[in-house]
Amino acid sequence: MNFRYPIFLDLTGKKCLAVGDHPEMAAKVQGLRDAGARVEWKQREFHPDDLAGCFVVLTSLPDNSEVFAACEQRNILCNAVDDPEHCRFSFGSIHRQGDLAIAISTNGSAPALAVRLKQRLQSQIGPEYGTLLTMLKDVREEIQSRIADFDARRDLWYRIVDSDVLDQLRSGEEDAAGRSLHRMIDEAANNISHSGTSGEDADR
């Protein structure tokens, strides 16, 4: 096993196949659907023709070797539930708050440890982080247009993240958090204007 390269996929509109049955299969299928994939769940024997147009395959058959080999020939990502030798990727333990997704992997060695770490994160990283991400998404274009200098823009992002905005959101003071956020943007834009600084318009 060498599941060491983390990646987040855009599965919107992609065909994904699930073959067989397993206590965890329903949750995995739902996760694919939640990500926008078109999922076909075949609770029967595997047929190679099932792979036509597939992007990702989940399998939980008594013997997953045929499915895995067929996927390898067609360059299709395959995950065999509880069968790491027939997997091209693994599922991490995910903690989500809005657009924030934190994935934990133990390279298949100890999934229970990943679950416990996820539970710890759940107690530390609450819904205020999802709310903050929504707010930052809403002002991103404004920051891009008002602050052309990359260094100044980068400093502003860190200043926002390190500010008391998260504490305000955690306390339910969303309006106050919004005011604090826009005050920091105005201050950064005014500093640029007063200094006459100009810089690259491209974000990195």
Structural domains of the chain, with CATH: 1-91 (3.40.50.720), 92-125 (3.30.160), 127-195 (no CATH)
Q: What is the dihedral of CA 96, 97, 99, 102, to 10 degrees?
A: -40
Identify the pLDDT of residue 203: 44
Q: Average pLDDT over the chain, rounded to whole?
A: 92
CA distance 131 to 5: 29
Mean pLDDT within 150-154: 95
Neighbours of 117 (CB within 10 A): 15
Assign 192 a pLDDT band (cuts: 50, 70, 90). confident
Q: For residue range 107-143, list pLDDT tens digits in order.
A: 878 889 999 999 999 999 999 999 999 999 999 999 9
Q: For residue range 15-33, list pLDDT tens digits in order.
A: 999 999 899 999 999 999 9
